[in-house]
Amino acid sequence: MRVLEEKVGERLLDRTTRQVELTPAGERLFGELAELLPRLDVALGPARQRRLRLAFAWMLPDSWLHEAVVRFEEVTGTQVDMLRRDDPLTELERGEADIVMVWSRVPAARFSAVTVMEEAQVAAVGRHSAWADHEALDWFDAAELPLITNPRFGATAPQEWALKHRPSHSALVGNIDEAMAQVAAGRGIAIVPETAGHTYAHPSIQFVPVRRAPSTALSFVYPRQGGHPMVSRLVEAVLGKASSDRVA
């Protein structure tokens, strides 16, 4: 501790015969290191024995991701824990996840983001709503409808439209289950990745194509520095499997 105090140039602890307390300088330094210390502890542990936490908001892609994870675990000896979270990016920021999967592009300076695949978008509509009668919706016509959204889990946000076409009626929800409940009740539509139409079953919801809609991206996001040492190996495994499946 004395060496650290000499490096910092300030006293970090108040010592008495009964207790030891942080000085204001010590509290400031502790606050600055609070995020780094857990990651340092993890990084210094045996890499092959540590679990890697992969967080996602909803819907893992088709079987190729599971196959990539199984192969990664076999080769590296590192187990991947799949964590379903409403807001994966916040979990990553807090250090509660090592890598996250999101259906969006992530322009964040603190993180590295790798696009694994591009996918068309569809509209989730209430089966008994007027919108269910359409074989397809147009991207710009969809902007006239009430929009159920939360880009944190992949439901398209109003900002995806040009300003003059931007939806004026939207409702922000906390997770995919809330979004689908709102859609099923006929309170709006949600524009989501096409995968949702294949994997999210609800008796009161149907999915219709959206003409002229931009594609969405499946991205894996992880810290640029100080992250789990096996993250890059997992990304390589996922990219390799996704690429081979597309070729096949």
85 vs 149: CA distance, rounded Å: 17
97 vs 68: CA distance, rounded Å: 19
Cβ 66 vs Cβ 60: under 8 Å: yes
15 vs 33: CA distance, rounded Å: 21
104 SS3 class: coil
**To 5 degrees, how large is the angle CA 69–CA 73–CA 78?**
120
Q: Give start-end residues of each CATH 3.40.190.10 domain in the chain.
A: 40-118+217-247, 121-214
Q: Spell out the residues 6+ positions from residue 99 whose beta carbon is closer than 8 angstroms to its own.
A: 52, 53, 54, 55, 92, 220, 221, 222, 227, 228, 231, 234, 235
CA count, 13 A, side-chain hemisphere, 200: 26
Q: Tell which residue, 118, 117, 89, 111, has the closest CA to residue 102.
A: 89
Query: What is the pLDDT at residue 247?
Result: 39
Strand partners, 72: none
Cβ 99 vs Cβ 85: under 8 Å: no
- Directed axis angle between helix 24-33 and helix 36-43, to 10°? 50
The CATH fold of domain 40-118+217-247: D-Maltodextrin-Binding Protein; domain 2 (3.40.190)
Cβ 58 vs Cβ 176: under 8 Å: yes
In the chain (248 residues long), the average pLDDT of successive 10-residue segments reads 76 76 82 64 56 86 82 91 90 92 74 90 92 91 90 76 84 86 92 84 91 91 89 92 61
User: Spelled out in words, what is the top-level CATH class assigned to the domain 121-214?
Assistant: alpha beta
Distance of CA 64 to the CA centre of its chain: 18
